[in-house]
Amino acid sequence: MKEKVEKVIKEKINPMLGTHGGSCELVGIRSDNVVLVKLQGACGGCPSAMITLKGFVLEVLREAIPEVADVEAV
């Protein structure tokens, strides 16, 4: 599953976040299929980071990989 998540982050999530000066890095995946990510650049300190995380990153991951349970920033 790690390779799938990395591919989605690289091909779908980071290009979109990059338009706002940000990016997302995979930190790990817990045994309960919760994806742990680090928001970087402009996304790291943005007041809307949680909305981006749950409303965009999680949705894109779930669309591509239905077994993703949730996403958390670390």
Quote the pLDDT of residue 45: 81
End-to-end CA distance of the chain: 19
Quote the pLDDT of residue 44: 83
The domain segmentation of the chain, as residue ranges, is 2-73
Homologous superfamily of 2-73 in CATH?
Fe-S cluster assembly (FSCA) (3.30.300.130)
Average pLDDT on 7-15 reads 97
Structure tokens at 56: 């965009």
Find the helix or strand (DSSP H, E) in which 14 lies: helix 14-18
Q: How buried is 9 (Cβ within 10 angstroms: 0-12 exposed, 13-18 middle, 19+ buried)?
A: buried
* Per-residue model confidence as pLDDT tens digits over 17-61: 999 899 999 999 999 999 999 999 988 888 888 889 999 999 999
